[in-house]
Amino acid sequence: MSTLDFFKAYHAHVEERSKEGVPPLALDKDQTAQVIELLKNPPSGKEDELIELITERVNPGVDPAAQLKAEFLFKVAHGEESSPLISPERAVELLGTMVGGYNLDGLIRLVDEQGPLADTAATALKKMVLSVNRFEDVQALADGGNEVAKEIVASWANGEWFTSLPAIADEIQTVVYKVDGEINTDDFSPASFAFTRADIPLHANCMGGTLFPDGPQEIAGLKESTGLPVTFVGDVVGTGSSRKSAINSLLWHIGNDIPCIPNKRRGGIVIGNTIAPIFFNTAEDSGSFPIQTDVTKLATGTVIKVYPAKGRITDADGNELAAFPVKPDTILDEYRAGGRVPLIIGKQLTEKARAALGMGPIEESGIFVVPNNPKPKDGQGYTLAQKMVGKACGVAGILPGTSCLPKMTTVGSQDTTGPMTRGEITELACLKFNADLVMQSFCHTAAYPKPADVITHATLPDYIMNRKGVSLRPGDGVIHSWLNRLLIPDSVGTGGDSHTRFPMGISFPAGSGLVAFAAALGVMPLDMPESVLVRFKGELQPGVTLRDIVNAIPYQAIQEGLLTVEKKNKKNVFAGRILEMEGLPQLKVEQAFELTDAAAERSAAAASIKLDREPIVEFLQSNVVLMEEMIKGGYGDADTLRKRIADVKEWIENGELMEADANAEYAAVIEIDLNKIAEPLLCCPNDPDDGKKLSDVQGAHVDEVFIGSCMTNIGHFRAAAEVLDGEGFANVNLWVCPPTKMDEAQLTKEGYYSKFGAAGARMEIPGCSLCMGNQARVKDGATVFSTSTRNVNNRMGKDAQVYLGSAELAAVVALKGELPSPADYVAIVAPKLEGKTENVYKYLNFHQMTEFSV
């Protein structure tokens, strides 16, 4: 391509993007190659533009474009190539802006050669926390007598990468932009625009959704009229999904550009009366400053002063408006370092250097804030969750309030966050995962892919498998239904979806940045939450399903005053805590997931459930066969799957289940007597906390019914089909979507698909379908009964009113077109399932199936 052609094409792209109000995309590999060639012989008048392109518009880390940039700059520094616009010294300085990854080879080689640019290279390495990936190489040079390398290691040991950064200001003057009520992550990052999430500035255009659609323009107006940074304020902020795209969008409007990293921002202040735990953590990781405090005195347009270290907020005249705890203890250090992730990586670098030099531990250095972790009391007991996290940290237990780095045994990534996770992994310069098993799915976009999704489907699997991860395929189904089958009991993991809630072991879902960190480094930062115990007793009553028991948790909490539906001054005993459950030890693991899965709707940080060994061993034996079939079917990475098979077999042979100590302490204990639940329970429009009895809402008209999502298993579909069988067409728009292709195949083989067809159901390919709302949508304003996970405003369709409940009740609603009375429900369902329950509620035990493949 000629000089003229390159600039013509690039300027056309810039113009096209400017119409959307966003900057151009980062340069790809081919564009970077063209810029490099032009830098060698720059056309007149294009000098400044070329320097800006190579400096600011190439992604860092191990991006393919970054590799070309790093190789070129090293050759300029080394005298192998030249550019009249970039001196050898400037080339080394530019290498130092590339975060880590492909640039490290050149910088370390310059130090090794001890030439005239060794000190310049050393200056770059001293400030680069991702140098930790090559610590041993630099240490070897120092041990060999290289004086420059010795200086680098000493600098790392003294934390100069951190102390050279400016501390957070004592006083920050800013103007408030406030949104009343509950703001969920779908308001920050609407699901219908999920295909744009990896393009941060473009996706940020849709921030606000239907709740505050003029938010981007209003924030821009406040900036322009006051000349001040804008602070985002809300009553309840960031509930719902674990979307890094939500904080990315917000920070695009209130944050600051990051030098030499295109189309990404950090910084900014977010204040909420309540901030959902995942959103709070994602804000920390993104270099923002989240604050939880009373927001009643804060209003849009109010100029405030925030005092981060003092925990005070005043008006412009100094009158106090609110006070807040400076939590976690490390948050000021996190902000200074540019986020929690670079702080943790940098601390690891400093720890390694101090150990190599025989210096004292990092906690005694005085460089960083040391978390004030609680000390166990004499005879301190631990909950089940505290023991599992303790095991992942190499100790007996982890108390609430402890800052720790548990080992991540299993990490999940789904497709609407996968492109962002890929970008974060690339920026972390990761070429091989350190987590034992990382799985990528395509369940959110497979059914109705947009052009961007098609590209993701084609490119992301190899990216994951090249790093020894496991990639599913479009059409395989929901990530949780697959990932749960690859677990090891009592281990800890995470995933880039808020419903990554293990039915055995424990998961702390996170945004894509933290998921990338967990995958790349094999550990994840955690401020251990408190636990709430839900203890079940009694027996399941006739006509009551496990999904009704799921809904009994918010219902009972409401009765006890521990949960309110009203958003102002909302109470939620589960928010930010671990929801631990016991009293149903004989549940199948597939059933247990219904309970842990719904912890996401409680805004819980994680969930655990106590099961007996027998159902767990049965599940694991089935899973071994599934993984063996995956290898036969060409799924990669085969070595990772073989290692997981070996670990699972080892646990079956020798593993022992953990259980809570009798003297463990909980923030609250809620008892649910199953004997007293005599009718179905629903969560009502449009709030997954709004639990009600069926009799309280009977007679409500329903337009559409959805049977699907990760909350379902094969038994639900058999039961629903039996209820529908022989009754003709449903009186609603009926959607049916099994969670995996294995469920689909078995239901087809058993003839259940014909029963759904006879009811006029729309059969969706295995995946998320209506649950996510970024694929198919219900009609505007429809009233819906759904078996899916959550029912926040506009998720399944514009202005849709959504009830959540069981598949059995869904089938009855589909026949009647309304919510039945409890008596009608029992009268319809009981005879349909009489004598069939053993076969209907039979799960996919692959080790007992003669015809099975993936």
Q: What is the pLDDT of residues 566-582, one digit of tens each?
A: 877 889 999 999 999 99
At 437, give phi and psi (nearest 5°): -145, 125
Question: Helix (H, G, I), strand (E, B), or coil: what is residue 450?
Answer: coil
Question: Running DSSP on this structure, what letter comes out for residue 31?
Answer: H
Please say whether the beta carbons of 387 and 376 come within 8 A: no
- Label residue 266 exposed, middle or buried (CB < 10 Å: 0-12, 13-18, 19+): buried
Tell me the pLDDT tens digit for each residue of 32-44.
999 999 999 999 9
Q: Across the strands, what pairs with 412?
A: 439, 495
Instruction: From 412, 380, 529, select the one nearest 479 (Cα to Cα).
Output: 412
Percent of the chain whose pLDDT exceeds 70: 100
Check residue 570 and give its pLDDT: 85
Omega into 235 within 30° of 0, i.e. cis?
no
Average pLDDT of span 333-353: 96
Average pLDDT of span 182-187: 92
Check residue 378 and give its pLDDT: 85
Question: Helix (H, G, I), strand (E, B), or coil: what is residue 499?
Answer: coil
Check residue 114 and give its pLDDT: 95
Tell me the pLDDT tens digit for each residue of 630-648.
999 999 999 999 999 999 9
Omega into 637 within 30° of 0, i.e. cis?
yes
Average pLDDT of span 537-563: 96
At 520, give phi and psi (nearest 5°): -70, -45
Is the confidence at residue 592, as pLDDT, over 70? yes
Is the confidence at residue 2, as pLDDT, over 90? no
Tell me the pLDDT tens digit for each residue of 463-485.
999 999 999 999 999 999 999 99
Percent of the chain whose pLDDT exceeds 90: 92
Check residue 783 and give its pLDDT: 98
Amino acid at 659: E
Tell me the pLDDT tens digit for each residue of 767-824.
999 888 777 899 999 999 999 998 888 889 999 999 999 999 999 999 999 999 999 9
Please say whether the beta carbons of 500 and 519 come within 8 A: no
Amino acid at 763: M
Amino acid at 348: Q
Question: Running DSSP on this structure, what letter comes out for residue 55?
Answer: H
Check residue 850 and give its pLDDT: 80
Is the confidence at residue 3, as pLDDT, over 80? no
Is the confidence at residue 60, as pLDDT, over 90? yes
Check residue 346 and give its pLDDT: 97
Check residue 567 and give its pLDDT: 78
What order of strands is seen across the sheet that includes strand 470-471?
470-471, 437-440, 410-413, 492-495, 506-507
**Can you read off the two tokens belonging to residue 721?**
């089909």
Residues 280 and 272: their CA atoms lie apart, in Å, by: 10
Q: Across the strands, what pairs with 410?
A: 437, 493
Tell me the pLDDT tens digit for each residue of 670-728.
999 999 999 999 999 999 999 999 999 999 999 999 999 999 999 999 999 999 999 99
Please say whether the beta carbons of 843 and 721 come within 8 A: no
Check residue 1 and give its pLDDT: 62
Please say whether the beta carbons of 190 and 171 come within 8 A: no
Residues 311 and 295: their CA atoms lie apart, in Å, by: 14
Check residue 376 and give its pLDDT: 85
Residues 777 and 756: their CA atoms lie apart, in Å, by: 20
At 4, give phi and psi (nearest 5°): -60, -45
Residues 303 and 710: their CA atoms lie apart, in Å, by: 45
Residues 462 and 88: their CA atoms lie apart, in Å, by: 36
Please say whether the beta carbons of 747 and 761 come within 8 A: no
- Label residue 78 exposed, middle or buried (CB < 10 Å: 0-12, 13-18, 19+): middle
Tell me the pLDDT tens digit for each residue of 722-745.
999 999 999 999 999 999 999 999
